[in-house]
Amino acid sequence: NAADEAEAQPAGVNYDESKVPAYTLPDPLAPGGGPRVQSADEWRERGRPATLDLFKRFMFGVIPEGQVITRADLISDHEVFDGKGRRREYTLTLTGPTGRSIAVDILVYTPVDPKRADRSWPAFLGLNFKGNHAVDPDPRIKLCSSWLRPDGDNVVNNRATEKGRGSERSRWPIQTILGRGYAVVTACYHDIDPDYDDGFENGAHALFAEGRGRPRDPSAWGSIAAWAWGLSRIRDHLQTVPEIDPSRVAVMGHSRLGKTALWAGALDERFALVISNESGCGGAALSRRRFGETLERINTAAPHWFCSAFHTFNGKEDALPFDQHQLIALAAPRPVLVCSASEDLWADPKGEFLSALNADPVYRLLGFVGMEAREMPGIGEPILSRVGYHIRAGKHDTTDVDWAVFLDFADRHLTATIRP
Ligand code: GCU
């Protein structure tokens, strides 16, 4: 299975800094090599749309037009964590122009303030890998009904079992997050588009009259674009949850879902803050460095993640009309936090830092300090400027240490001035 292969970190890849080839990064203020953007207005009118267009055409693919109807059904509503939280489950049924539908189950955790029931909270929204039932062991949570990747006893014949309850809980310290005054919203990414190469027959792609039997456009959307689109549909729904302040929703994600969070944040400016955790190649890491995972490797192991036009850059990184610092710049002037782990060389921590650093000129043009640091910080020394960066000791994962930094970053940039 291609998605499993993508997990393996093969030998023969470059982990030697001295072997990183010389490269020149495209100027983020001159997207596509056009004239240099001179003002904040010009960035909005020309710079940002031109940059977005490059990433659509050559990397993530174009999301089709066409009306999608969403129905939201509340399927459970519980008090949790000794009354300190409330958890609601909704099923969002999304029906596209083809008449086909997908069902996305979402978990919405909100803090409870006994003194102020009318309070609305900032929120973290992120997709999960193994189903909502894996995020929290509470047996009342609906078992994920989507195709799942093999995972020991937790998944049999690609379907969730009771054994998988709570299996991803270490990545979702929900009580801690609620305790810090934030809501948490999550859904399983497979509900939006199952993560395997099926020729774009199922998931969100099936909602639109594209693909199926017909040759696909080289810029037709891949799965990461579908997941990002799904995040926006969940964001639509949050507008109706009174305990959540829709103007303070941070989009976050780990690894392939960190790539997804960056693209969702670029496309949908309603996301007030963006967090990439160890998103690596195709996410925060600069492609031109060819350190750890390369374009050839990612497009071979997971051919459905990006549009097929992106595959033509395999081994030709210098021909790309952009690099990943420009993906970060698409969030400007909103805050973006890029996080790495010291042993996750596959995701190229230094390349992730350099992306954050090189997005800075766009923030400065818009009148903000983006990245405060000029050098990559040491392990455990978070930089919490508007474009932030942190490297934690350890392996590829999302841990309490990461969340502590996400929360500090959000405290500084999402709530500081607005919190009552
Ligand atoms: C693989 C893949 C990465 C991806 C990661 C993940 O390692 O090569 O690009 O980020 O899986 O999503 O966990």
Encode pLDDT of 59-79 as tens digits. Answer: 999 999 999 999 999 999 999
pLDDT at 116: 86
- The answer to whether residue 6 scores a pLDDT higher than 60 is no
- For residue 265, give the H/E element and its range: helix 256-267
**Distance from C-alpha of 170 to C-alpha of 166, rounded to nearest angstrom:** 8
User: Is 280 close to ligand 1, i.e. is its CB under 6 Å away?
Assistant: yes
**Distance from C-alpha of 359 to C-alpha of 323, rounded to nearest angstrom:** 10
pLDDT at 89: 98
CA angle 116, 121, 125 (to 5 degrees): 150
Query: For 25-29, 115-119, 192-196, 307-311, which range has the lowest pLDDT when averaged over its residues?
Result: 115-119
Query: Among residues 255, 287, 340, 385, which one is catalytic?
Result: 255
In 10 A of CB 55, how many CB atoms?
24
**Distance from C-alpha of 315 to C-alpha of 286, rounded to nearest angstrom:** 14
Mean pLDDT to the nearest integer, 188-211: 91
* Ligand 1, atom 11, residue with closest C-alpha: 7
**Distance from C-alpha of 256 to C-alpha of 62, rounded to nearest angstrom:** 18
**Distance from C-alpha of 66 to C-alpha of 71, rounded to nearest angstrom:** 16
**Banded model confidence at residue 419, pLDDT cuts 50, 70, 90:** very low
User: Is 5 close to ligand 1, i.e. is its CB under 6 Å away?
Assistant: no
pLDDT at 213: 64
Single-letter code of the amino acid located at 400: D
Question: What is the value of pTM for the model shown?
Answer: 0.96
Q: Is 413 noted as a catalytic residue in this protein?
A: no
Q: How far is CA 36 from the centre of its chain?
A: 29
The residue to mutate among 149, 346, 397, having the most atoms of ligand 1 within 8 angstroms of its beta carbon, is 346
Mean pLDDT of the chain: 95
**What Å distances lie between residue 73 and 102, 112, 120, 382, CA to CA?**
13, 22, 21, 40
Rounded to the nearest angstrom, the distance between the alpha carbon of 6 and the centre of ligand 1 is 6
The residue to mutate among 13, 256, 293, having the most atoms of ligand 1 within 8 angstroms of its beta carbon, is 256
**Banded model confidence at residue 131, pLDDT cuts 50, 70, 90:** very high
- The answer to whether residue 148 scores a pLDDT higher than 60 is yes
Angle 223-238/256-267 helices, nearest 10 degrees?
Answer: 60
Sign of CA dihedral 14, 17, 22, 24: positive
* Share above pLDDT 70 across residues of the chain, in percent, rounded to a whole number: 95
User: Is 294 close to ligand 1, i.e. is its CB under 6 Å away?
Assistant: no
User: Is 284 close to ligand 1, i.e. is its CB under 6 Å away?
Assistant: no
Mean pLDDT to the nearest integer, 209-222: 80
Rounded to the nearest angstrom, the distance between the alpha carbon of 215 and the centre of ligand 1 is 28
Of the candidates 202, 199, 203, 193, the one whose C-alpha atom is nearest the C-alpha of residue 213 is: 199
pLDDT at 215: 79
In 10 A of CB 319, how many CB atoms?
8
Query: Among residues 190, 390, 396, 413, which one is catalytic?
Result: 396
Could you tell me the two tokens for 228? Answer: 């990002």
Q: Is 145 noted as a catalytic residue in this protein?
A: no
**Distance from C-alpha of 283 to C-alpha of 347, rounded to nearest angstrom:** 9
* Ligand 1, atom 12, residue with closest C-alpha: 256
pLDDT at 117: 82
- The answer to whether residue 417 scores a pLDDT higher than 70 is no
Mean pLDDT to the nearest integer, 97-126: 95
Q: What would the pLDDT profile of 21-53 be if each residue is shown by its tens digit?
A: 999 999 999 999 999 999 999 999 999 999 999
**Distance from C-alpha of 97 to C-alpha of 100, rounded to nearest angstrom:** 8
Rounded to the nearest angstrom, the distance between the alpha carbon of 301 and the centre of ligand 1 is 10
Mean pLDDT to the nearest integer, 231-254: 97
Single-letter code of the amino acid located at 99: G
The residue to mutate among 196, 293, 300, having the most atoms of ligand 1 within 8 angstroms of its beta carbon, is 293
pLDDT at 209: 72
User: Is 273 close to ligand 1, i.e. is its CB under 6 Å away?
Assistant: no
Sign of CA dihedral 302, 304, 307, 308: positive
> C-alpha dihedral over 177, 179, 182, 186, to 10 degrees?
40
**Distance from C-alpha of 392 to C-alpha of 351, rounded to nearest angstrom:** 15
Specify the length of the chain in residues: 420
Which atom of ligand 1 lies at the shortest distance from residue 293's CA?
8
**Banded model confidence at residue 118, pLDDT cuts 50, 70, 90:** confident
User: Is 293 close to ligand 1, i.e. is its CB under 6 Å away?
Assistant: yes
